[in-house]
């Protein structure tokens, strides 16, 4: 079984990737997306989204990282895909799943699921641009408004030469509301012959097992579940028990150090509150801590509450 850490814009940045891969259990990370419009992005953009490029595309703990691109113009996506792997990305991932309104309005992410032919042309151009030794993958949802084009979109991605496909088992309209329709992944899998990774609503080892059985996929991708339980990947692999709260609190302190002394200290109050919101799903103590800091704005006073 391979477990991938999902991209989550504004949450799973390189600091969180570093920490969660140190906790362990992940085999691959995918970055937040680089938005491509009508130009070859400067190298600094890739290094900002993926500082691991300075380490040959690996996290400090040695887990490979793949840059994700989002856009609608095949030629520009192809040029930027080549640049990403040239800089050290372990392949390229294409985003056809982002449900954000601002992204969809500019014809990126999940809105492209209405146009299988456009998806085909994008994946084909990127596959032709990226050297054969590097993988091209894509992430999609079951559809935009409904599942009527789910199989067609997956076939377009496979026929265009993608090496693998991650399927988030909900439509754009579903958003992140439970349930995830894992059985739909199995239906799609009958029509494509590339490896498929299942994603969506995996919060614990029972969810992971049910997802694997219903989707007929061995490999999975974790997003919010990994934020709610930092060692979820290790738990799913049967290598660790649930991380106790005291260890989680120690991670919060370490994360605070990353944020405060790293390059995003100004976002620290919002980031740590957001993470506590996810942790509250698994840890009652996280909710108590969140209530103590939710009105605080200063990093020092927030860190003091976490440590007390």
Q: Which residues are catalytic?
A: 98
Is the CB of residue 25 less than 8 Å from the CB of residue 231? Answer: yes
**CA–CA separation, 153 vs 247, rounded Å?**
42
Separation of CA 137 from chain center? 13
For residue 54 the two structure tokens come to 């300075």
For residue 216 the two structure tokens come to 């007929």
CA dist 20 → 70, 89, 260 (Å): 24, 19, 18
**CA–CA separation, 8 vs 115, rounded Å?**
24
Q: Which helix (H) or strand (E) holds 104?
A: helix 101-105
Q: Collapsing DSSP states into helix, strand and coil, what is residue 203?
A: coil
Q: To which residue do tokens 């042309």 refer? A: 121
The distance between the two most distant Cα atoms of the chain, rounded to a whole number of Å, is 56
**CA–CA separation, 139 vs 165, rounded Å?**
6
Neighbouring residues of 307: CB distance < 8 A, sequence distance ≥ 6: 253
Task: Tell me the helix, strand and coil percentages in the chain, rounded to 5.
Answer: 50, 15, 35
Q: Collapsing DSSP states into helix, strand and coil, what is residue 35?
A: strand
173: buried, middle or exposed (CB in 10 Å: 19+, 13-18, 0-12)?
middle
């Amino acid at each position: 079984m391979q477990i991938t850490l999902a991209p989550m814009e504004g949450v799973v940045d390189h600091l969180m990737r570093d920490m969660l891969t140190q906790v362990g259990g992940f085999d691959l990370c995918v970055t937040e997306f680089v938005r491509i419009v009508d130009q070859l992005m400067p190298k600094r953009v890739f290094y900002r989204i993926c500082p691991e490029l300075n380490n040959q595309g690996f996290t400090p703990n040695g887990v490979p990282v793949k840059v994700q691109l989002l856009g609608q113009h095949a030629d520009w996506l192809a040029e930027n895909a080549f640049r990403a792997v040239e800089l050290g990305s372990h392949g390229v991932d294409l985003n056809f799943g982002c449900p954000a309104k601002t992204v969809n309005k500019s014809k990126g992410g999940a809105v492209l699921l209405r146009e299988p032919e456009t998806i085909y042309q994008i994946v084909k151009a990127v596959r032709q641009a990226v050297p054969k030794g590097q993988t091209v993958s894509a992430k999609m949802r079951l559809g935009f408004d409904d599942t009527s084009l789910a199989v067609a979109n997956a076939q377009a991605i496979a026929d265009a030469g993608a090496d693998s496909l991650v399927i988030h088992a909900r439509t754009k309209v579903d958003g992140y509301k439970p349930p995830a329709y894992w059985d739909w992944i199995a239906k799609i899998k009958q029509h494509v012959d590339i490896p498929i990774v299942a994603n969506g609503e995996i919060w614990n080892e029972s969810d992971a097992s049910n997802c694997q059985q219903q989707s007929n996929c061995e490999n999975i991708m974790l997003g919010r579940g990994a934020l709610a339980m930092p060692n979820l990947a290790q738990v799913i692999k049967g290598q660790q028990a649930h991380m106790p709260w005291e260890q989680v609190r120690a991670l919060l302190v370490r994360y605070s150090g990353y944020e405060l002394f790293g390059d995003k200290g100004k976002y620290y109050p919002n980031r740590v509150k957001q993470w506590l919101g996810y942790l509250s799903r698994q840890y009652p103590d996280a909710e108590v801590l969140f209530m103590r800091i939710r009105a605080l704005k200063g990093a020092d006073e927030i860190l003091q509450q976490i440590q007390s």
